[in-house]
Amino acid sequence: MTTHFVCFLLNRSLKTPYKEIAMLKFIVVFCSFFLVAHFSNNRISNNCSVTRYIVADLGVLQNHQSSRAFGVSEHGVVVGESTQNFLTQNAFMCKKSGVMQEVMNFFGAGQCVAVAVSDSGHITGYYCDENGISHGWLLYGENNGNKIRNLGTLGGNFCIPYDVNSSGVVVGCSFNSDYKNHAFMWNDGVMTDLFPTSDFAFATGINDAGEIVGFFVNESFESIAFLRREKGEVINLGSLEHVGLAFSNANGVNNHGQVVGRSSTLSGYSHAFIFTDGEMRDLGTLRKVNGTSDTSSEAFKINNHRVVIGESVSLGSLARPFVWSEKKGMQDLQKLLQSNATDFSATTFHLERVSDINDAGEIVGWGYWGDIEEGDDGSSRFHAVLLTPVS
């Protein structure tokens, strides 16, 4: 599962009633289990020209210290969150070549985050109430009157959306009345439980055809990546070769039904995968300076040109964002950065995380400059960035 919000859930647990604390901690522990993964060599053709990326700092909202970008549309509209002094999070939208602006906080909440934007301009996210409990929302695009909808829940009091398509269909996870975490699909005011018989499931992505991806936990406590077709057929994506319990989770799907995520391997670690033409393929990991390979990797998103983004990591080291394509294999994004601003040096910028990619190849995420990951007050100094490919 994409892990953007796991730490956020844990930080809120002190304000949460006992039953919800137990479930939130279970989610955090369960998702953290998937952060283990393993090795592979990357084969990049020497005949392929290298694509560089111009880094654009999207800044922060007024009086804020940090920001993170979670989604980008085909029109270059970026959404995410901007933070002030740990406590205040505001959802933002940034149009291409524009200025970051707050997505109106209709709920008056101190924490409000935008997590995804569709090509038609629909934005989804969540806010936290006075008890620290998350509630999902959908802001329809300009062509639909910029209406706001509260997504509700599956019977409990917790909901976090993960993605929205051009028709305004939202997917995510929600508690049911038994405080069990279930995957949902929300469409025009109706929230549907996608796996009512599973005690634990997430829906993490949806394409414009209405195909949904995510994962559920079966009776053997194996995590199973799935692709749900538009008419409801559920395809078990399986896993790469494994020892012991298998696990896989799907994070993204493009309009061709190609899926990316991560899966267990024979080594005991997990690798990024792409599922296409009925087959799950291992994307491998990045190589390190000493010639060895990272142990783990995970793929987050895939665009319609089959370009994949994710991260590669070894135990005891920082994760490295990557971009993968059929021709060029897996590449370290940090090494492909360049700047278009005189006050910005890509050599001193550290790309911390990537989260989404559009068909123009534009990638969003966040990072920081030099050694200034935190300010004097301990607050993070991440800035949301847009990476634009150039030949």
DSSP string, 349-389: EEEEEEEEE-TT--EEEEEEETT-SB-TTS-B--EEEEEEE
Distance, CA of 82 to CA of 2 (rounded, Å): 19
pLDDT at 373: 53
Structure tokens at 139: 């802001």
Distance, CA of 363 to CA of 366 (rounded, Å): 10
Distance, CA of 127 to CA of 109 (rounded, Å): 6
pLDDT at 315: 83
Distance, CA of 77 to CA of 71 (rounded, Å): 8
Contact 389, 52 (CB under 8 A): yes
Neighbours of 49 (CB within 10 A): 9
Low-confidence residues in the chain, pLDDT < 50? 1-47, 341-343, 377-379
pLDDT at 43: 40
Residues in the chain: 391
Question: Which residues are CB-neighbours of 43 under 8 A, at least 6 positions away?
Answer: 329
CATH of domain 6-390: 2.130.10.150
Closest CA to 280 of 322, 325, 248: 248
Closest CA to 129 of 22, 7, 20: 20
| pLDDT tens figures, 337-360 | 986 544 455 567 899 999 999 999
pLDDT at 318: 87
pLDDT at 306: 98
pLDDT at 157: 93
Q: In what order do the strands lie in the sheet with 212-217?
A: 201-206, 212-217, 223-228, 234-238
For the chain, which residues make up each domain, given as ranges? 6-390
Q: Rounded to 5 degrees, what angle do the CA atoms 198, 202, 205 make?
A: 140
Closest CA to 181 of 197, 194, 199: 199
Distance, CA of 194 to CA of 216 (rounded, Å): 10
Distance, CA of 304 to CA of 306 (rounded, Å): 5
The β-bridge relationship of strands 78-84 and 66-72 is antiparallel
